[in-house]
Protein backbone atom coordinates (compact mmCIF):
# COMPACT_ATOMS: atom_id res chain seq x y z
CA UNK A 1 0.00 0.00 0.00
CA UNK A 2 1.37 3.45 -0.85
CA UNK A 3 2.36 5.63 2.06
CA UNK A 4 2.04 9.39 2.39
CA UNK A 5 5.10 10.33 0.26
CA UNK A 6 3.98 8.14 -2.67
CA UNK A 7 0.43 9.55 -2.56
CA UNK A 8 1.88 13.06 -2.45
CA UNK A 9 3.86 12.34 -5.63
CA UNK A 10 0.63 11.21 -7.34
CA UNK A 11 -1.11 14.36 -6.09
CA UNK A 12 1.59 16.59 -7.50
CA UNK A 13 1.43 14.88 -10.91
CA UNK A 14 -2.37 15.10 -11.06
CA UNK A 15 -2.55 18.69 -9.82
CA UNK A 16 -0.04 19.79 -12.44
CA UNK A 17 -1.97 18.17 -15.30
CA UNK A 18 -5.68 18.57 -14.46
CA UNK A 19 -5.96 21.77 -12.40
CA UNK A 20 -8.44 24.23 -14.01
CA UNK A 21 -9.61 21.57 -16.48
CA UNK A 22 -13.19 20.33 -16.79
CA UNK A 23 -14.18 16.67 -16.91
CA UNK A 24 -15.97 16.09 -20.22
CA UNK A 25 -16.96 12.49 -19.60
CA UNK A 26 -16.54 9.68 -17.06
CA UNK A 27 -16.39 6.04 -18.17
CA UNK A 28 -16.89 3.27 -15.60
CA UNK A 29 -15.76 -0.18 -16.73
CA UNK A 30 -16.15 -1.85 -13.33
CA UNK A 31 -18.13 -0.42 -10.41
CA UNK A 32 -17.14 -3.19 -7.99
CA UNK A 33 -14.24 -1.60 -6.14
CA UNK A 34 -13.94 -1.68 -2.34
CA UNK A 35 -16.85 0.76 -2.27
CA UNK A 36 -19.20 0.22 -5.21
CA UNK A 37 -19.27 3.22 -7.54
CA UNK A 38 -22.87 4.54 -7.50
CA UNK A 39 -24.92 4.83 -10.69
CA UNK A 40 -24.99 8.65 -10.55
CA UNK A 41 -21.20 9.00 -10.38
CA UNK A 42 -20.67 9.80 -14.07
CA UNK A 43 -23.45 12.38 -14.24
CA UNK A 44 -22.34 14.10 -11.05
CA UNK A 45 -18.79 14.64 -12.34
CA UNK A 46 -19.61 15.51 -15.93
CA UNK A 47 -18.54 19.09 -16.81
CA UNK A 48 -17.21 19.68 -13.30
CA UNK A 49 -14.21 22.06 -13.26
CA UNK A 50 -11.26 21.03 -11.09
CA UNK A 51 -9.94 23.73 -8.77
CA UNK A 52 -7.07 21.71 -7.32
CA UNK A 53 -5.94 18.25 -6.27
CA UNK A 54 -5.29 18.04 -2.56
CA UNK A 55 -4.35 15.23 -0.18
CA UNK A 56 -5.07 14.17 3.38
CA UNK A 57 -3.05 11.27 4.73
CA UNK A 58 -3.14 8.60 1.99
CA UNK A 59 -6.28 10.00 0.36
CA UNK A 60 -6.36 12.11 -2.81
CA UNK A 61 -9.01 14.85 -2.80
CA UNK A 62 -10.14 16.45 -6.06
CA UNK A 63 -11.68 19.87 -5.36
CA UNK A 64 -14.36 21.05 -7.80
CA UNK A 65 -16.19 24.34 -8.11
CA UNK A 66 -19.15 24.81 -5.75
CA UNK A 67 -17.42 22.85 -2.95
CA UNK A 68 -17.90 19.38 -4.39
CA UNK A 69 -15.18 16.80 -3.90
CA UNK A 70 -14.08 13.39 -5.08
CA UNK A 71 -11.96 11.28 -2.73
CA UNK A 72 -9.69 8.63 -4.24
CA UNK A 73 -7.94 5.92 -2.25
CA UNK A 74 -5.48 3.69 -4.12
CA UNK A 75 -5.89 0.66 -1.86
CA UNK A 76 -3.23 -2.03 -2.23
CA UNK A 77 -2.68 -2.00 -5.98
CA UNK A 78 -4.38 1.06 -7.46
CA UNK A 79 -2.45 3.24 -9.90
CA UNK A 80 -3.41 6.37 -11.79
CA UNK A 81 -2.24 6.88 -15.37
CA UNK A 82 -2.26 10.04 -17.47
CA UNK A 83 -2.59 9.87 -21.25
CA UNK A 84 -2.00 13.07 -23.24
CA UNK A 85 -3.31 13.21 -26.83
CA UNK A 86 -1.17 16.21 -27.78
CA UNK A 87 2.03 15.01 -26.15
CA UNK A 88 2.12 11.23 -25.73
CA UNK A 89 3.92 10.22 -22.54
CA UNK A 90 6.30 7.28 -22.56
CA UNK A 91 5.59 6.66 -18.86
CA UNK A 92 1.95 7.07 -17.86
CA UNK A 93 2.03 5.87 -14.25
CA UNK A 94 1.84 8.62 -11.60
CA UNK A 95 2.22 6.04 -8.83
CA UNK A 96 5.09 3.94 -7.56
CA UNK A 97 4.07 0.38 -8.23
CA UNK A 98 4.08 -2.02 -11.08
CA UNK A 99 4.73 -1.05 -14.68
CA UNK A 100 5.33 2.60 -15.63
CA UNK A 101 3.16 1.86 -18.69
CA UNK A 102 -0.64 1.68 -18.82
CA UNK A 103 -1.74 -1.97 -18.37
CA UNK A 104 -4.26 -3.57 -20.72
CA UNK A 105 -6.39 -5.14 -17.97
CA UNK A 106 -8.11 -3.72 -14.89
CA UNK A 107 -8.66 -0.15 -16.14
CA UNK A 108 -11.83 0.49 -14.14
CA UNK A 109 -12.42 4.27 -14.30
CA UNK A 110 -11.59 6.90 -16.92
CA UNK A 111 -11.86 10.67 -16.58
CA UNK A 112 -11.94 12.23 -20.06
CA UNK A 113 -10.73 15.80 -20.57
CA UNK A 114 -10.36 17.70 -23.86
CA UNK A 115 -6.90 16.39 -24.69
CA UNK A 116 -6.23 14.22 -21.67
CA UNK A 117 -7.33 10.98 -20.05
CA UNK A 118 -6.88 9.99 -16.41
CA UNK A 119 -7.25 6.23 -15.95
CA UNK A 120 -7.59 4.33 -12.68
CA UNK A 121 -6.14 0.81 -12.81
CA UNK A 122 -6.52 -1.61 -9.89
CA UNK A 123 -6.01 -5.40 -10.23
CA UNK A 124 -7.06 -6.16 -6.64
CA UNK A 125 -9.88 -3.56 -6.53
CA UNK A 126 -9.21 -2.46 -2.93
CA UNK A 127 -9.20 1.22 -3.87
CA UNK A 128 -12.30 3.39 -4.04
CA UNK A 129 -13.89 6.65 -5.19
CA UNK A 130 -16.23 8.66 -2.98
CA UNK A 131 -18.28 11.77 -3.79
CA UNK A 132 -18.50 14.46 -1.08
CA UNK A 133 -21.03 17.24 -1.71
CA UNK A 134 -19.92 19.95 0.75
CA UNK A 135 -17.07 21.08 2.98
CA UNK A 136 -18.82 20.02 6.19
CA UNK A 137 -19.14 16.44 4.97
CA UNK A 138 -15.49 16.47 3.87
CA UNK A 139 -14.39 17.50 7.36
CA UNK A 140 -16.69 14.88 8.87
CA UNK A 141 -15.19 12.20 6.59
CA UNK A 142 -11.78 12.54 8.22
CA UNK A 143 -12.92 13.54 11.71
CA UNK A 144 -11.95 10.23 13.36
CA UNK A 145 -8.43 10.30 11.92
CA UNK A 146 -5.41 11.72 13.67
CA UNK A 147 -3.44 14.74 12.46
CA UNK A 148 -0.91 14.43 9.68
CA UNK A 149 2.77 14.39 10.69
CA UNK A 150 3.18 17.80 9.00
CA UNK A 151 0.30 19.34 10.94
CA UNK A 152 0.88 21.81 13.79
CA UNK A 153 -1.51 19.62 15.80
CA UNK A 154 1.07 16.83 15.77
CA UNK A 155 3.01 18.43 18.63
CA UNK A 156 4.59 17.57 21.96
CA UNK A 157 1.48 18.29 24.00
CA UNK A 158 -0.59 16.04 21.75
CA UNK A 159 1.83 13.12 22.04
CA UNK A 160 2.36 13.38 25.79
CA UNK A 161 -1.38 13.51 26.47
CA UNK A 162 -2.18 10.75 23.98
CA UNK A 163 0.41 8.35 25.40
CA UNK A 164 -0.63 8.64 29.04
CA UNK A 165 -1.27 5.17 30.49
CA UNK A 166 -1.07 3.58 27.02
CA UNK A 167 0.42 0.07 27.10
CA UNK A 168 0.56 -0.36 23.34
CA UNK A 169 4.04 -0.23 21.75
CA UNK A 170 5.14 2.86 19.88
CA UNK A 171 5.46 1.11 16.48
CA UNK A 172 1.76 0.17 16.62
CA UNK A 173 0.85 3.77 17.45
CA UNK A 174 2.74 5.10 14.44
CA UNK A 175 0.66 2.76 12.25
CA UNK A 176 -2.59 3.72 13.97
CA UNK A 177 -4.36 6.23 11.70
CA UNK A 178 -6.46 7.43 14.65
CA UNK A 179 -3.24 8.66 16.28
CA UNK A 180 -1.38 10.02 13.25
CA UNK A 181 -2.49 9.92 9.61
CA UNK A 182 -0.30 8.80 6.75
CA UNK A 183 2.61 6.91 8.32
CA UNK A 184 2.90 3.31 7.12
CA UNK A 185 5.16 0.38 7.85
CA UNK A 186 8.23 1.54 5.91
CA UNK A 187 8.49 4.98 7.43
CA UNK A 188 7.53 3.88 10.96
CA UNK A 189 10.69 1.76 11.11
CA UNK A 190 12.81 4.55 9.66
CA UNK A 191 11.40 7.16 12.07
CA UNK A 192 12.02 5.00 15.14
CA UNK A 193 15.56 4.21 14.02
CA UNK A 194 16.35 7.88 13.50
CA UNK A 195 14.85 8.59 16.95
CA UNK A 196 16.86 5.75 18.62
CA UNK A 197 13.66 4.26 20.05
CA UNK A 198 12.93 0.54 20.32
CA UNK A 199 9.73 -0.23 18.37
CA UNK A 200 8.52 -2.50 21.19
CA UNK A 201 8.75 0.23 23.83
CA UNK A 202 5.42 1.04 25.47
CA UNK A 203 4.12 4.47 24.56
CA UNK A 204 3.52 5.45 28.20
CA UNK A 205 7.26 4.99 28.91
CA UNK A 206 8.41 7.52 26.31
CA UNK A 207 9.88 10.69 27.77
CA UNK A 208 9.38 14.18 26.33
CA UNK A 209 12.67 14.13 24.44
CA UNK A 210 11.74 10.87 22.74
CA UNK A 211 8.31 12.24 21.83
CA UNK A 212 9.90 15.34 20.37
CA UNK A 213 12.31 13.20 18.34
CA UNK A 214 9.38 11.25 16.89
CA UNK A 215 7.69 14.49 15.82
CA UNK A 216 10.82 16.00 14.27
CA UNK A 217 11.95 12.81 12.54
CA UNK A 218 8.48 12.06 11.17
CA UNK A 219 8.47 15.42 9.40
CA UNK A 220 12.09 15.14 8.28
CA UNK A 221 11.96 11.61 6.88
CA UNK A 222 8.61 11.98 5.13
CA UNK A 223 9.62 15.29 3.54
CA UNK A 224 12.93 13.79 2.44
CA UNK A 225 11.09 10.85 0.87
CA UNK A 226 8.78 13.25 -0.99
CA UNK A 227 11.79 15.20 -2.24
CA UNK A 228 13.33 11.94 -3.46
CA UNK A 229 10.18 10.96 -5.32
CA UNK A 230 8.77 8.39 -2.93
CA UNK A 231 10.00 4.88 -2.25
CA UNK A 232 10.40 2.55 -5.20
CA UNK A 233 9.84 -0.79 -3.52
CA UNK A 234 8.49 -1.78 -6.92
CA UNK A 235 9.20 -0.17 -10.27
CA UNK A 236 8.01 3.38 -9.70
CA UNK A 237 8.46 5.93 -12.42
CA UNK A 238 6.39 9.09 -12.47
CA UNK A 239 5.00 10.62 -15.66
CA UNK A 240 8.39 12.21 -16.37
CA UNK A 241 10.08 8.82 -16.22
CA UNK A 242 11.87 9.70 -12.99
CA UNK A 243 12.31 6.83 -10.58
CA UNK A 244 11.93 7.34 -6.83
CA UNK A 245 15.26 7.03 -5.03
CA UNK A 246 14.46 7.12 -1.32
CA UNK A 247 14.67 3.32 -1.08
CA UNK A 248 18.43 3.66 -1.61
CA UNK A 249 18.58 5.56 1.67
CA UNK A 250 16.68 3.11 3.88
CA UNK A 251 18.68 2.70 7.06
CA UNK A 252 16.74 -0.19 8.56
CA UNK A 253 13.79 -1.18 6.36
CA UNK A 254 14.57 -4.48 4.60
CA UNK A 255 18.12 -4.29 5.96
CA UNK A 256 17.88 -7.27 8.34
CA UNK A 257 21.25 -8.89 8.98
CA UNK A 258 23.19 -5.80 7.88
CA UNK A 259 25.48 -3.78 10.10
CA UNK A 260 23.89 -0.67 11.59
CA UNK A 261 24.49 2.36 9.38
CA UNK A 262 24.80 4.71 12.33
CA UNK A 263 28.37 5.91 12.86
CA UNK A 264 30.28 3.99 15.55
CA UNK A 265 27.35 1.67 16.28
CA UNK A 266 28.24 -2.03 16.40
CA UNK A 267 24.68 -3.26 16.18
CA UNK A 268 22.96 -5.50 13.65
CA UNK A 269 19.61 -4.75 12.01
CA UNK A 270 16.99 -7.24 13.19
CA UNK A 271 13.60 -8.13 11.74
CA UNK A 272 10.68 -9.00 13.99
CA UNK A 273 6.92 -8.84 13.64
CA UNK A 274 4.51 -6.48 15.40
CA UNK A 275 0.82 -7.10 14.67
CA UNK A 276 1.87 -9.25 11.69
CA UNK A 277 3.86 -6.36 10.19
CA UNK A 278 7.60 -6.64 9.59
CA UNK A 279 9.58 -4.36 11.87
CA UNK A 280 13.25 -3.48 11.41
CA UNK A 281 15.50 -2.03 14.11
CA UNK A 282 19.07 -2.00 15.42
CA UNK A 283 19.61 -4.37 18.35
CA UNK A 284 22.13 -1.97 19.90
CA UNK A 285 21.34 1.72 19.41
CA UNK A 286 17.56 1.19 19.66
CA UNK A 287 17.66 -0.62 23.00
Active site residue 3: yes
Kindly report the number of other CB atoms within 10 A of residue 207's CB atom.
9
CA distance 166 to 178: 14
Active site residue 58: yes
Report the DSSP beta bridge partners of residue 278: 273
Q: Would you say 72 and 59 are in contact if contact means Cβ atoms under 8 Å apart?
A: yes
CA distance 19 to 21: 5
Strands (E), 74-219: 79-84, 107-112, 116-121, 128-132
Q: 58, 117, 228, 237: which one is catalytic? A: 58
CA distance 94 to 96: 7
Alpha carbons within 13 angstroms on the beta-carbon side of residue 110 total: 13
Active site residue 277: yes
Alpha carbons within 13 angstroms on the beta-carbon side of residue 33 total: 26
CA distance 165 to 175: 18
Q: 166, 168, 272, 277: which one is catalytic? A: 277
Alpha carbons within 13 angstroms on the beta-carbon side of residue 208 total: 2
Q: Would you say 260 and 266 are in contact if contact means Cβ atoms under 8 Å apart?
A: yes
Q: Would you say 71 and 141 are in contact if contact means Cβ atoms under 8 Å apart?
A: yes
- Residue length of the chain: 287
Residues labelled as active-site residues: 2-3, 58, 277
Amino acid sequence: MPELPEVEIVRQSLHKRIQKKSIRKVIIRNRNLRLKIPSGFEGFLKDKKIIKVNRFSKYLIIHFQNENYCIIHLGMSGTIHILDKKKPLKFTNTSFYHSPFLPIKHNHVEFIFNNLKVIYNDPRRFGFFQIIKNRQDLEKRFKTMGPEPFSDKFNLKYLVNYFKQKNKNIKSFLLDQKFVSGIGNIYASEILFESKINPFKKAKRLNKKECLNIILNSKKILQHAINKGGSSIRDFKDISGNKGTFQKEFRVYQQDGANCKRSKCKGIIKKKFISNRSTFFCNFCQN
